[in-house]
């Protein structure tokens, strides 16, 4: 090949590789610092409402779709993974349950290009929504809020993505607040609008933090990996500095409480002691 052709090919190669690396692999957290949220603060808030704390947590896998690893954690590679959609039911001895996420309908799953949808699991979630005192959405995405939208628990879509049945006492602030005995909601609107985490301290002392889309897989927080820039900068209005700050916060909370189980958005961790399947509602 001639030198001119070599230079042309090099320019083409660089023009392809550099943007691709920046869009999919770049994972520089910069000067991000962990948020001033401590495990002691969350424990104090969890004890702030009288009553028994949750005695059990059940989960339902409602469907899955394939997603490139870089999309959930920049630099993790081009391999496609199954990313599951979950709903969780917090069971109390002295009150009706709290639900985290509401799932979606078959039609919604099909429109979102899901590779699998579990109708029986969604039916159990629908039954749980009828009895839940609160339903907390970790994100406003359709795969988490679609069940509520279809179920018409709230017709005003402006409320979808907010804590249904419970509001932040601080109004417009983003500080953590107690929702039910042992259950603390941690709003994260500065990262992405209508997003939040949920901290749960069980009656037996076990602790969980439901991370949702902040950490689709565990390596998001263990390796401090934000999603690819292709997603955060072009597909949604997510602030990467804030994402890194919250990922560092998860790591800090885990150091403060080594027994804390961080539940990622797309997988349930092994040995989490969460129960699979919601109880079947009794017909009246």
Predicted confidence (pLDDT) per residue in 197-230, tens digit: 999 999 999 999 999 999 999 999 999 998 888 7
The pTM (predicted TM-score) of the whole model is 0.87
What DSSP string runs through 116-141? Answer: EE-HHHHHHHHHHHHH-SEEE-S---
Q: What is the model's pLDDT at position 256?
A: 97
Contact 265, 48 (CB under 8 A): no
- Residue 17's pLDDT band (cuts 50, 70, 90): low
In this structure, the chain runs to a length of: 284
Whether 168 shows a pLDDT value over 50: the answer reads no
Q: What is the model's pLDDT at position 158?
A: 38
Contacts 24+ apart (CB under 8 A), 125-131: 125/60, 125/62, 125/87, 125/99, 125/278, 126/151, 127/278, 127/280, 127/281, 128/87, 128/89, 128/97, 128/99, 128/278, 128/281, 129/99, 129/102, 129/153, 130/281, 131/96, 131/97, 131/281
Dump pLDDT digits (tens) for 113-158: 999 999 999 999 998 888 888 889 898 888 888 888 787 654 444 3
Q: What is the model's pLDDT at position 31?
A: 87
Average pLDDT over residues 239-256: 94
Task: Choose between 260 and 7: higher pLDDT.
Answer: 260
Average pLDDT over residues 58-72: 92
- Phi, psi of 113, rounded to the nearest 5 degrees: 60, 40
Mean pLDDT of the chain: 84
What 3-state DSSP class applies to 203? coil
Dump pLDDT digits (tens) for 78-111: 889 999 999 999 999 989 999 999 999 999 999 9
Question: Which residues, in sequence order, are CB contacts of 222 under 8 Å at separation 6+?
Answer: 251
Q: What is the model's pLDDT at position 164?
A: 46
Contact 260, 39 (CB under 8 A): yes
- What the block records as the tokens of 250 is 């998860």
- Residue 173's pLDDT band (cuts 50, 70, 90): low
What DSSP string runs through 76-90? Answer: S-S-EEEEEEEEEEE
């Amino acid at each position: 090949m001639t030198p001119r052709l070599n230079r042309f090919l090099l320019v083409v190669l660089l023009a392809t590789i550099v943007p691709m690396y920046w869009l999919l692999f770049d994972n520089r957290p910069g000067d991000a610092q962990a948020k001033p949220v401590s495990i002691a603060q969350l424990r104090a808030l969890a004890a702030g409402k009288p009553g028994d704390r949750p005695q059990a947590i059940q989960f339902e896998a409602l469907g899955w779709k394939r997603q490139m690893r870089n999309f959930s954690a920049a630099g993790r590679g081009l391999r496609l993974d199954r990313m599951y959609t979950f709903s969780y039911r917090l069971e109390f001895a002295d009150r009706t349950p709290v639900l985290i996420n509401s799932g979606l309908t078959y039609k919604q799953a099909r429109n979102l290009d899901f590779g699998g949808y579990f109708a029986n699991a969604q039916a159990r979630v629908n039954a749980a929504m009828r009895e839940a005192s609160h339903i907390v959405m970790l994100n406003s995405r359709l795969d988490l809020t679609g069940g509520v939208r279809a179920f018409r628990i709230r017709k005003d879509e402006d409320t979808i993505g907010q804590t249904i049945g419970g509001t932040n006492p601080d109004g417009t602030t983003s500080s953590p607040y107690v929702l039910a005995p042992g259950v603390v909601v941690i709003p994260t609107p500065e990262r992405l609008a209508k997003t939040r985490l949920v901290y749960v301290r069980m009656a037996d002392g076990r602790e969980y933090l439901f991370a949702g889309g902040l950490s689709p897989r565990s390596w998001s927080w263990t390796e401090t990996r934000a999603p690819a820039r292709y997603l955060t900068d072009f597909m949604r209005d997510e602030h990467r500095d804030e994402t890194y700050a919250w990922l560092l916060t998860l790591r800090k909370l885990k150091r403060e409480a080594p027994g804390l189980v961080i539940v990622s958005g797309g997988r349930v961790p092994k040995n989490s002691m969460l129960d699979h399947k919601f109880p079947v509602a009794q017909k009246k």
